[in-house]
């Protein structure tokens, strides 16, 4: 759903329609299943590496030229912009999962770029590195830590939220923007991707 929601948001912009308002339920309302960490790691693996329902990110972007990555078809954000945005939030979640403060991270508005975006292909390499950090940090948490509020200070919207909440958010964030990258690639003539 998040994958196609990302595509739909761009299609609405192209049709000059406002984005619809969506208020997701908190992931912390889910029952505390004994295998929650394993389920989250499996979901991450399925979304990032399986190729069952998504193009694999590294396959999707490996042959993308800097010129294509920087294109802004019909005024939409470029793939480089989206990937820098994704890398920022992967770094943010990795640090929060480790209990580190994110107060010193530069501010980034929702959908916005960090102040020092990386050029292509370094943006993709940075995002993949931070995603590995998210997986590693999640893998090191105990079941109790998964559901407890994360220590350290962070942005106001996630203060006091659990690691489970943060990981559910970053999985959906990845799927949402991955769908947009696929749509942008298709708009540039790369048609061999999932719809």
pLDDT at 186: 85
- SS3 percent helix, strand, coil of the chain, rounded to 5, is 60, 0, 40
Distance, CA of 131 to CA of 88 (rounded, Å): 10
pLDDT digits (tens, 9 = 90+) for 65-101: 999 999 998 889 999 999 999 999 999 999 989 988 8
- pLDDT value at residue 130: 95
Residues 6+ apart with CB under 8 A from 39: 33
pLDDT bucket at 140, cuts 50 / 70 / 90: very high
pTM for the whole thing?
Answer: 0.81
Q: Does residue 110 register a pLDDT over 70? A: no
Higher pLDDT, 77 or 43: 77
**162 φ/ψ angles, rounded to the nearest 5 degrees:** -85, 165
pLDDT tens track for 19-40: 655 555 555 555 565 578 788 8
**Comparison of pLDDT for 131 and 46, the residue scoring more:** 131
Top-confidence residue, 13 or 134: 134
Tell whether the model's pLDDT for residue 160 goes beyond 90: no
User: Which of 23-32, 42-51, 127-136, 180-189 is the least confident region?
Assistant: 23-32
Amino acid 50: pLDDT: 67
Q: Which one is predicted more confidently, 191 or 92?
A: 92
* Burial (CB count within 10 angstroms: exposed 0-12, middle 13-18, buried 19+), residue 133: middle
Query: What does residue 160 show for φ and ψ, rounded to 5 degrees?
Result: 80, 5
Question: Which pair of tokens denotes residue 93?
Answer: 């979640």
Burial 90-105 (b: 16+ CB within 10 A, else e): bbbbbbbbbebebeeb
The tokens describing 54, both together, are 């998504």
Distances (CA, A) of 87 to 20, 33, 111, 154: 25, 29, 12, 17
């Amino acid at each position: 759903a998040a994958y196609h929601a990302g595509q739909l948001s761009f299609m609405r912009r192209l049709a000059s329609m406002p984005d619809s308002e969506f208020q997701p339920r908190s992931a912390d309302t889910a029952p505390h299943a004994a295998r929650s960490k394993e389920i989250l790691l499996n979901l991450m693996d399925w979304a990032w590496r399986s190729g069952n329902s998504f193009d694999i990110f590294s396959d999707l972007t490996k042959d993308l030229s800097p010129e294509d990555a920087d294109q802004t078809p019909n005024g939409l954000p470029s793939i480089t912009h989206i990937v820098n945005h994704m890398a920022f939030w992967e770094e943010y979640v990795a640090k929060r999962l480790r209990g580190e403060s994110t107060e010193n991270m530069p501010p980034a508005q929702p959908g916005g770029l960090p102040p020092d975006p990386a050029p292509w292909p370094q943006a993709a390499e940075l995002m993949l590195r931070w995603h590995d950090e998210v997986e590693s940090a999640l893998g090191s948490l105990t079941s109790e830590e998964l559901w407890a509020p994360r220590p350290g200070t962070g942005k106001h919207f996630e203060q006091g939220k659990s690691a489970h909440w943060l990981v559910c958010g970053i999985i959906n964030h990845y799927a949402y923007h991955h769908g947009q990258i696929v749509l942008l690639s298709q708009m540039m003539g790369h048609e061999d991707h999932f719809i």
